[in-house]
């Protein structure tokens, strides 16, 4: 799908409000007010509020696959080095699109809309497939051990990152980091998450239980 400038403007505003107040907690009038547009424009451009949400998922999902594959197919790198690149790329992506990930965390709990569920499943499947390919590569050349539970490994990685994003304010308070500037806190999260995820994944891929 290709979206016009006007559609992208609506998508971005809706994304912000859906992340802040939830899908049902945001009215079309809220979106219209924040974007200085008429309330009929959402229906006009997207058909309905529900389809606007689907558009957000399509828009964010579109670019995912290519970047991941380009990392996995890089030559001259060990599988473990690619893993580290993937982790940092994932952290970068989730930090850059926090609003979208907040929406996805909230929507995946529900099971109401088939189109949304399908879009989420498609996103997860892309990630799983690409990671699986890389792990098999590492197993075949002896870098990684056999018997790696890849879905659980993904759960650990995605779950940890999502939890950090969606409960930032609690993490900040419980870690006594209120004094940090927003930017410094942002950097802290990225580096701490990177260090720990790399360590954990490395351990899962190489150490015996």
Partner DNA sequence: GTTTAAATTAAACAATTGTTTAATTTTGTG
Partner DNA sequence: CACAAAATTAAACAATTGTTTAATTTAAAC
Chain contacts with a copy of itself (rule: CB under 8 A): 19-25, 102, 105-106, 108-112, 117, 120-121, 124-125, 128, 149, 151-152, 154-156, 158-164, 166-167, 169-171, 173-175, 192-193, 195-196, 199-200, 203-204, 207, 209
Question: Taking CB under 7 A as the rule, does residue 6 contact DNA?
Answer: yes
Residue found under tokens 């304010």: 169
Centre a 10 Å sphere on the Cβ of residue 87 and count the other Cβ atoms it contains: 20
The partner in contact with residue 19, picked from DNA, a copy of itself, none with C-beta cut-offs of 5 to 8 angstroms by kind, is a copy of itself
Question: Taking CB under 7 A as the rule, does residue 199 contact DNA?
Answer: no
Closest by Cα among 205, 197, 202 to 148: 205
Residue from 8, 40, 96, 152 touching DNA (CB under 7 A): that is 40
Question: Taking CB under 7 A as the rule, does residue 39 contact DNA?
Answer: yes
The nearest distance, CB 174 to DNA, in angstroms, is 31
3-state SS track over 120-181: HHHHHHHHHHHHHHHHHHHHHCCCCCCCCCHHHHHHHHHHHHHHHHHCHHHHHHHCCCCCCC
Question: Taking CB under 7 A as the rule, does residue 26 contact DNA?
Answer: yes
The partner in contact with residue 196, picked from DNA, a copy of itself, none with C-beta cut-offs of 5 to 8 angstroms by kind, is a copy of itself
Question: Taking CB under 7 A as the rule, does residue 70 contact DNA?
Answer: no
Distances (CA, A) of 12 to 9, 45, 57: 5, 14, 12
Residue length, the chain? 209
- Name the residues that contact DNA, by CB under 7 A: 4, 6, 26-30, 37-44, 47-50
């Amino acid at each position: 799908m290709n979206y016009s400038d006007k559609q992208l403007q609506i998508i971005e505003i809706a994304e912000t409000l859906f992340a802040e107040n939830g899908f049902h907690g945001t009215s079309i009038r809220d979106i219209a007010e924040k974007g200085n547009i008429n309330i009929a424009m959402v229906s006009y451009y997207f058909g309905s509020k529900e389809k606007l949400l689907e558009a957000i998922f399509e828009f964010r999902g579109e670019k995912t696959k290519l970047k991941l594959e380009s990392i996995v197919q890089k030559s001259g790198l060990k599988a473990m080095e690619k893993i580290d690149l993937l982790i940092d790329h994932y952290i970068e992506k989730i930090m850059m699109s926090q609003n979208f990930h907040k929406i996805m965390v909230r929507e995946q709990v529900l099971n109401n809309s088939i189109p949304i569920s399908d879009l989420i499943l498609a996103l997860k499947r892309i990630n799983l497939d690409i990671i699986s390919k890389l792990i098999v590569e590492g197993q075949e050349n002896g870098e990684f051990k056999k018997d790696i539970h890849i879905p659980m490994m993904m759960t650990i990685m995605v779950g940890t990152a999502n939890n950090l994003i969606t409960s930032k304010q609690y993490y900040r308070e419980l870690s006594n980091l209120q004094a940090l500037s927003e930017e410094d806190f942002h950097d802290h999260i990225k580096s701490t998450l990177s260090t720990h995820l790399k360590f954990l994944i490395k351990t899962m891929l190489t150490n015996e239980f």
